[in-house]
Structure 1
Amino acid sequence: MVPPDLPRRGAGAEAAEPRRVGGFPDAAPRRLRVRARRDDRRRRGLPSPDHRRRPARRLPRPARSRRDPSRPRRGERARRARRRHAAPPGRRAPALMPLGAVTLDAAGTLFEVAEPVGTTYARLAARHGITLAPAEVERGFRTALAAAPPLAFPGGSPARLADHERAWWYAVVRRTFGAAGTSSHFDACFTELFEFYGRAAAWRVFPDVPEALRALRARGPRVGVVSNFDTRLVGLLDQLGLAPLVDRIVHSTRAGVAKPDPAIFHLALEALGVPPAEALHAGNEIVADVEGARAAGLRAVLVDREGRLLTLPPGVQRVRTLAELVARLES
């Protein structure tokens, strides 16, 4: 038997032709067959069987531009600024120049409330049958205080100063109470609150203050208090043991002008006998204390006891305590 896939000898055998691949017979050399297969696949749009073995063609690398040496590298400006403003090793900030007088704010700088205002208001109001939420009172008090006119009465009669002060605080507290301010018991509650904040029990002296005041006076400069407060301040400083540690007390209601008006700083410096260029003021508010003192020609330092401010105006120095202020003056 003859396999069916082979041509038979005899008639018709000559019709059988060798199998062709890519136009070449099987007997063609291998290189021709490979080339034929490659050309055939190319015509049909198929990839060459040996495409994976071909090295990838690399694109020319773009020419690198040379950095201008006169221009700082990225982030270099910020690094230079940090180095320029950094304190020398072992010191937190540059020392301050010798001074003839140091004036200080009162509330928030020398002392603070013994408990939150909202807590005190709610507790005392409850005695008079008025129900208040401490958190709401706290927010309401800050809003009322911000909306109130300056705590100063220019042109007012000195004999009626206490009446003006009481009326000013009456309006602030009534706005703080909101709807509860219309209660028939409000007047009695207000009287108790007003008297309470005139006693030492309502306040707490910061621990560093007494020693810092003694150190300031021992160093030489005269020490004064400049505050947006009423006539109760003088008695409070005496009850808190701070009055003997300062030379002058100037509050806004007696001065007839309030911070940040430069006039109140000038009044204090006249009493201390020191020109503005030789004085420094420290307080816990940017506008009232720092900007006001600068406008009056004094140097100013912010007392940020809790470190709440993340950024400061240009040139403003900050301390966390009065003890730190004294250390800066002595360095």
Structure 2
Amino acid sequence: MLRLQLLTWDAKDTLLRLRHPVGENYSAAARAHGVRVQPEALNNSFHQAYKAQSTLFPNYGLSKGLSSKQWWVDVVKQAFRLSGLHEDRVLDPIAESLYQEFCSAQNWELLPDARETLRQCHQLGIRMAVVSNFDRRLEKILSHCNLRHHFEFVLTSEEAGFAKPDQRIFRKALHISGVAPEQAAHVGDSYVKDYRAARAVGMHSFLLTRAGHANNWETEVPKEHILPSLPHLLSVIEKG
């Protein structure tokens, strides 16, 4: 058995995922404010706006004096502008409502077997935490999804001041827990931000894969480190 004292988890697309494409949520919020914008257009424009904002202001623009809320409000408003809606008097309340809505459990769902896998890890006596490129809303989201109690702490990139794959976020998690890297492991769905970054600080790591996604890292990751599903983690740890 792999002797782990600490297991850290990525959040989005590892434990939780959005129930609906972003464009559907944005379109519904617009309708609630008397405006019609097509979900497909909003989905495309959101990805453009998010990518541009992430490039200009990494990690929610903290180093530039932004708050994560302002960062997200700007993304939402730019997504609508790219879809043809420009009036701030309409965009302001839509952006505010969407910021609040994405805290709620109705917009998120657990990945299959997430809850049971966490429960079984607890039974093995492994301490657990979350290390995620997320903003301060993650604590509330995990609570609303009835997952928060599984974790000793939740370390977001906003709180840490560093975003994965920066090794400092993992080092901070290890410092908080008081666990040596060789006694810790990380689980996530990104080869660069999760798997490789955690291993760079001396942790074990496991990569959750999704069926139907092309992978350019297959020759880089030993098969025993790849998780085709979350329950597979238990057998890997117990074989360890």
Residue in structure 2 matched with residue 182 of structure 1 by the alignment: 86
Number of residue equivalences: 231
- For the residue of structure 2 that corresponds to 1:98, the secondary structure is coil
Residue in structure 2 matched with residue 281 of structure 1 by the alignment: 186
Give 2:221's aligned amino acid: G
- For the residue of structure 2 that corresponds to 1:185, the secondary structure is helix
- How far residue 168 of structure 1 moved from its aligned partner, in angstroms, is 0.7
Residue in structure 2 matched with residue 325 of structure 1 by the alignment: 233
- For the residue of structure 2 that corresponds to 1:322, the secondary structure is coil
Q: Deviations over 1:240-277 (max 9, x none)?
A: 11111112210111111111100011111111221112
Contact 1:153–1:253 (8 Å) recurs in 2: no
1:207 maps to 2:115: no
Greater Cα offset, 124-133 or 205-214: 124-133
Q: How does 1:242-257 map to 2 (within 5 A)?
A: 242-257=147-162
User: Larger Cα Rg: Structure 1 or Structure 2?
Assistant: 1
1:98 maps to 2:3: yes
1:264 maps to 2:131: no
Supply the distance in 2 between the matched residues of 1:117 and 1:155 (Cα, whole angstroms).
27
Supply the distance in 1 between the matched residues of 2:59 and 2:102 (Cα, whole angstroms).
16
Equivalent residue in structure 2 for 1:315, among 214, 221, 225: 221
Q: Identity rate of aligned residues, in percent?
A: 32
Structure 1 stretches of 4+ moved >6 Å: none
Q: 1:122 to 1:301 in 2, by over 3 A?
A: same
Q: Deviations over 1:170-223 (max 9, x none)?
A: 222122221535223000100110000011111111230111111112212211
Supply the distance in 1 between the matched residues of 2:212 and 2:5 (Cα, whole angstroms).
28
Supply the distance in 2 between the matched residues of 1:165 and 1:154 (Cα, whole angstroms).
7
Supply the distance in 1 between the matched residues of 2:170 and 2:49 (Cα, whole angstroms).
26
TM-score (norm 1): 0.65
TM-score (norm 2): 0.88
- How far residue 318 of structure 1 moved from its aligned partner, in angstroms, is 1.8
Contact 2:185–2:206 (8 Å) recurs in 1: yes
Residue in structure 2 matched with residue 82 of structure 1 by the alignment: none
- For the residue of structure 2 that corresponds to 1:280, the secondary structure is strand
For structure 1, which runs of at least 5 residues remain unmatched after alignment?
1-95, 158-162
Structure with a larger share of its residues in helix: 2
Q: How does 1:12-31 map to 2 (within 5 A)?
A: none
- For the residue of structure 1 that corresponds to 2:146, the secondary structure is coil
1:139 maps to 2:44: yes
Supply the distance in 2 between the matched residues of 1:144 and 1:155 (Cα, whole angstroms).
19
1:170 maps to 2:73: yes
Give 1:168's aligned amino acid: W
Give 1:320's aligned amino acid: P
For structure 2, which runs of at least 5 residues remain unmatched after alignment?
none
Q: 1:195 to 1:255 in 2, by over 3 A?
A: same
Q: Deviations over 1:43-74 (max 9, x none)?
A: xxxxxxxxxxxxxxxxxxxxxxxxxxxxxxxx
Residue in structure 2 matched with residue 117 of structure 1 by the alignment: 22
